[in-house]
Amino acid sequence: MTRPDPSAPSDDARRRVLGVARSVGEKAWRERLTSQQGATALAIAQRLGLPEIVARVLAARDVSLEAAAGFLDPTIKELMPDPSTLRDMDAAAARVADAVMAGVPVAIFGDYDVDGATSSALLSRYLAALGTPNRIHIPDRIVEGYGPNGPAIRMLREEGAGLLVCVDCGSTSFEAFEDARAVGLDVVVLDHHQVGEELPHTAALVNPNRQDDLSGLGHLAAVGVTFVFVVALNRELRRRDFFNARHAPDLLLLLDLAAVGTVCDVVPLKGLNRAFVRKGLLALHGRANAGLAALGDVARIHGPPTPYHLGFMIGPRINAGGRIGDAALGARLLTTDDMDEARGIAERLDALNGERQAIEAEMLLEGDAQALVAVEATDPAVLLTGSDGWHPGVVGLVASRLKDRYRRPAFAIAWDVDGKGTGSGRSVPGVDLGAAVRKAVEEKLLEKGGGHAMAAGLTIRRERLADLAAFLDERLKADVEAARAATELKIDGALTASAASVELIHALEQAGPFGAGHPEPVFAFPSHRISYADVVGKGHVRLTLGDGGGGSLKAIAFKAADTPLGQAILEARGAPLHVAGSLSIDNWQGRERVQLRVIDVADPRKVRH
């Protein structure tokens, strides 16, 4: 029997990129592509005539040879399921069709985030195209809180609403829907949040994450569920001969809204979600939606929109109204066809987003200090931070920053004068925060709570905070430890600055769009000299890499100035660094230029080979 050579590199070391076992970001750099996926990549490249790099990116994301052709061109027609596979969908379509046929005014109740705003606007635009009177109500985060509430329902009924449709909310609104019954208002729910077995009384509750739904569409955002519902409603109205005397609306014109909500709710970009985003980006580029066009202008987006633009430039501005201003601004922007009105709302949202950033920075300083004390004292599985002075609309953003910084789930809680806390949490892959919060509600530790695996919200009394901390530590400690142990950065390949061309990025775009569940390619740039590095804007670090052969590459590390990553870059001026990041095209004044978004770095002098 042949004995293994003890001097040969282990499988672990063989898959290590540039020998980086522990980077500045405390990650091991690993090849994303396995040997088996390498064979698949070769087959994809040969069969479809693709550049090898594109085939490698596809195979590394588990796209099979058989699925590759369809994956490259995801279409709504091919990927749209039969809407009837969703529980209660036929009942929902029939009830709303009744209202449309009778000309009954419809009230749309949406959540105050991007998914809620886009879902509300999508349904409103469709109903308006049918000639059905409708109005949107987005609750005030501070005054009304999350989801349907009795006073708002009674107000909508008094205004003449004959049907209430709740989008991105409502799956747990037991008391509010009893109020709706009391005033004779039927309710239809289009939602995607995780729920228990018991559901409120409604005419129809469509939610692919309800426990008796077997559709397999739980990855859809609420805007995706709403689009599928509109398909079902369109079909039902056609069956009733509604379109004999009028044209049916073009549903493809609504895909820009579907794309924005899907990206901003960070749902996996697989199946129908990929088609929403791919086709929706094309619709966005056409600037048919006045609100989205105006928002792109104030955000100074140049060139074709990308998922990055939606998630980090469009989404935060839509969200700003719901966080610290008028919650209805986002939905109003997305439903107007008046360019002047759109421009005014977009400018207001842009200003609110600036105010939000300032509030967030101040809260983050305090939250970071609390988190550091907690980590050094007890090293909790889940961080619980909070303050009496925090803005409830910004706590989710603070939680997200703390989660990234301390590599564990984090909650940020805004306390009121009565000792009630409104909190938002963000999780890390492999730790189901939403399930833990729902269990805490069952255990009476929380007054309210719910969410997804990666994000959750809660309402808690101050005196139960210690009990919640103990509960989360016991329930999630093992999962958090496993998630923290699996800290690695997956690398799609090594490049030089000279090779990072516009042509390369356009080739890679064939495998996109990239986002949650379909990660953007990450490339390593070995021992590139940092010829320039400085802090710019609001804590960003801008730098230039040189490959020693005359090639240079502009790069940026966002919000990194006060982090180990930013400090390592600034201290490396004139010296070589291994740099890892994602490539994009910066469109400025009609010119396409390559830019690297830096994710991690490692000092080549400290790497053991």
Q: Under CATH, which number does the domain 378-486 receive?
A: 3.10.310.30
Q: To 10 degrees, what angle do helices 315-324 and 255-264 make?
A: 70
Distances (CA, A) of 508 to 15, 301, 409, 591: 23, 21, 32, 19
Rounded distance, CA 186 to CA 571, Å? 63
Examine the pLDDT at 176 and tell me if it is beyond 70: yes
- Residue 607 or residue 524, greater confidence: 524
Q: What was the pLDDT predicted at 589?
A: 72
Classify 410 as helix, strand or coil: strand
Q: What is the pLDDT of residues 256-286, one digit of tens each?
A: 999 999 999 989 999 999 999 999 999 999 9
Q: What is the pLDDT of residues 462-476, one digit of tens each?
A: 999 999 999 999 999
Beta bridge partners of 456: 425, 451
- Residue 577 or residue 1, greater confidence: 577
Q: What was the pLDDT predicted at 607?
A: 75
Q: What is the pLDDT of residues 45-67, one digit of tens each?
A: 999 999 999 999 999 999 999 99
Q: What was the pLDDT predicted at 528?
A: 97
Q: What was the pLDDT predicted at 7?
A: 46
Closest CA to 107 of 138, 65, 86: 138
Closest CA to 183 of 148, 147, 138, 153: 153
Examine the pLDDT at 9 and tell me if it is beyond 60: no
For the purposes of burial, counting CB atoms within 10 Å of the CB of 338, is it exposed (0-12), middle (13-18) or buried (19 or more)? exposed
Q: What is the pLDDT of residues 186-239, one digit of tens each?
A: 999 999 998 889 999 999 999 999 999 999 999 999 999 999 999 999 999 999
Examine the pLDDT at 288 and tell me if it is beyond 50: yes
Q: What was the pLDDT predicted at 608?
A: 60
The mean pLDDT value for 579-585 works out to 96
Q: What was the pLDDT predicted at 13?
A: 53
Rounded distance, CA 252 to CA 261, Å? 15
Query: What pTM value is reported for the model?
Result: 0.90
Q: What is the pLDDT of residues 349-408, one digit of tens each?
A: 999 999 999 999 999 999 999 999 999 999 999 999 999 989 999 999 999 999 998 999
CA 322 from centre of chain: 16
Rounded distance, CA 597 to CA 572, Å? 17
Rounded (5°) CA angle 211-225-296: 140
Fold classified for 78-351: inorganic pyrophosphatase (n-terminal core) (3.90.1640)
Domain(s) labelled CATH 2.40.50.460 in the chain stretch across: 11-32+492-606
Q: What is the pLDDT of residues 550-563, one digit of tens each?
A: 899 999 999 899 89
Domain(s) labelled CATH 3.90.1640.30 in the chain stretch across: 78-351
Tell me the pLDDT band of 137, cut-offs 50, 70 and 90: very high
Length of the chain: 609
Beta bridge partners of 525: 579
Contact in structure between 57 and 44 (CB atoms under 8 Å): no
Examine the pLDDT at 306 and tell me if it is beyond 50: yes
Q: What was the pLDDT predicted at 456?
A: 92
Tell me the pLDDT band of 14, cut-offs 50, 70 and 90: low
Q: What was the pLDDT predicted at 222?
A: 98
Contact in structure between 454 and 433 (CB atoms under 8 Å): yes
Examine the pLDDT at 3 and tell me if it is beyond 50: no
Buried b (16+ CB within 10 A) or exposed e, 42-81: eebbeeeebeebbbbbbbbbebebeebeebbebebeeeeb
Q: To 10 degrees, what angle do helices 222-239 and 114-130 make?
A: 20
Examine the pLDDT at 8 and tell me if it is beyond 50: no
Q: What was the pLDDT predicted at 591?
A: 85
Domain(s) labelled CATH 3.10.310.30 in the chain stretch across: 378-486
What the block records as the tokens of 130 is 């049918």
% of the chain with per-residue pLDDT over 90 = 86
Fold classified for 11-32+492-606: OB fold (Dihydrolipoamide Acetyltransferase, E2P) (2.40.50)
Q: What was the pLDDT predicted at 106?
A: 98
Examine the pLDDT at 311 and tell me if it is beyond 70: yes
Q: What is the mean pLDDT of the chain?
A: 93
- Name residue 194's amino acid: Q
